[in-house]
Structure 1
Amino acid sequence: MSRVCQITGKKVMVGNNVSHSKRRTKRKFQVNLFHKRFYLPEDDRWINLNVSAAGLRIINKKGLNAALKDAKAKGYIDNI
């Protein structure tokens, strides 16, 4: 499973390690992902999501249904 947030669409970014002598080598900036279970009371079921810390804040702010609806509209999730 790829390291992509299913709510925000955040994924791994590529950048440089810069040493004291200013030499640059490639590195990856990983997403702060969590594998969380959420309860959908409308469907009376649990769902599993890979969610970043920012995605958890969006779910807390908007609510789970609104966040899932926005993620589906943007194409981040398809089968939930």
Structure 2
Amino acid sequence: MARRCELTGIGPKVGNNVSHAKNRTKRRFLPNLCNVTLHSDKLGQGFKFRIAASALRTVDHMGGLDVFLAKADEGKLSTNALKLKRKLAKAS
């Protein structure tokens, strides 16, 4: 399973560990992924996603899963989220 957010496409970033002596070694910054069930108001059911905590806050701020997916860029969505977006477009 890839370490990538299904809604925003956020993935691992690369950087350096810097010691007190300024020695640098490569490291990875992994996103804070959470397994959540988000409820769709239009379809009346819940859908399971593996999304970043920041994406969960964004979904709440925008007013729910339906509104978020309507405005989301299709290039960043996972295949499951893309199917749901198309399902929502048909339902409205």
Q: Same fold (TM over 0.5)?
A: yes
Is the CA contact (8 Å cut-off) linking 1:6 and 1:71 kept in structure 2? no
C-alpha separation between the residues in 2 aligned to 1:71 and 1:3? 20
Deviation at 1:72, TM superposition (A): 5.0
Please tell me whether residue 38 in structure 1 is matched to residue 38 in structure 2: yes
- Please identify which structure carries the higher strand content: 1
What is the aligned length?
A: 80
Structure 1 unaligned runs (5+)?
none
C-alpha separation between the residues in 1 aligned to 2:44 and 2:73? 20
- Please identify which structure carries the higher helix content: 2
Structure 2 unaligned runs (5+)?
85-92
TM-score, normalised via structure 1 length = 0.83
Structure 1 outlier segments of 4+, above 3 Å: none
CA RMSD of aligned residues (A): 1.6
Specify the code of the residue in structure 1 equivalent to 2:7: I
C-alpha separation between the residues in 2 aligned to 1:56 and 1:46? 14
C-alpha separation between the residues in 2 aligned to 1:14 and 1:32? 15
Partner of 1:65: 66
